[in-house]
Structure 1
Amino acid sequence: MAGAGVAVTGAAHRWYVCGLREVRKAVRAKRARAVIIAPNIESVGAEGGLDDALSEILQLCEEQGTPALFAMSRKKMGELYGFRKRVSAVGLLQANGVEDLFPLLVKLGREGRAQWEALAPAAKQQVLLDGDVHREMTM
């Protein structure tokens, strides 16, 4: 039988991707089940910059019904995934083993966003200053 002795590559078993480029690719291909974004991504307004990439990811997530959650700093997200570098975004491709917790994750993310939206602008600015967040996420 052809291919019987072929080993399965690591890419076949990936259940997440890290970084804005990889997350954008996964969302474009409709492979992302959820996207986690660090709220302290620096603003780069140049054409094709981080703002454009983030806007595209958020727009595609909304169109596809993919949850986009803001959590942790770039540094903490990198540490969580075992990287020395900072990570701006993570795309979850599979929820194997945590299917029962996944709806709770989405629910808590939506509740957190609703609480954020309910804050007065002055309170939001103070949270951003106190929480090592450099940019207000209004999306």
Structure 2
Amino acid sequence: MDGWRAASTSSCPGTGHQRKTAERQAARRRAWNQRLLFNAHYDEYGFQPIVVFDGEGRPVAALLRPARRPTGREVRGFLRRLVRAIRGHWPRVDILLRAESHYCAPEVLDFCRAERLGFILGVATIRTLRRRVETLEHSTAAR
């Protein structure tokens, strides 16, 4: 891109306008890149979109967002807009939310209950959960 910028501003007569345009584009690009965050799982910088599909696998909605774990408030806001749009067309439809553990937050659970949404959410492994599962594993292995 820097090669394009140099070529577009140096080879044209009246380069003042082109230079300002290129500088504005470079500033926009820097602002956009600030939204990129490092994702240790993928060992690179990037985005982590939220993508929603219907029961048949057809895309319903997508949200491009920084590659960090979404807050419960962020997910709740996205779900609120999504549910409002769906119920605007089909007011009595049953909605089932299936999502990974990083979407499981108190705000999301409260929203799902208040809006009468079915939900299947992953639960992140924590020490308390691990202790309970180990107890179950030992008792099952003993049988």
Which has the higher Rg, Structure 1 or Structure 2? 2
Structure 1 or 2: more strand by fraction: 2
- State the TM-score bracket (shorter-chain normalisation): under 0.3
| Higher RCO (CA 8 Å, separation ≥ 6 residues) | 1
| TM-score, with structure 2 as normaliser | 0.27
Structure 1 or 2: more helix by fraction: 2
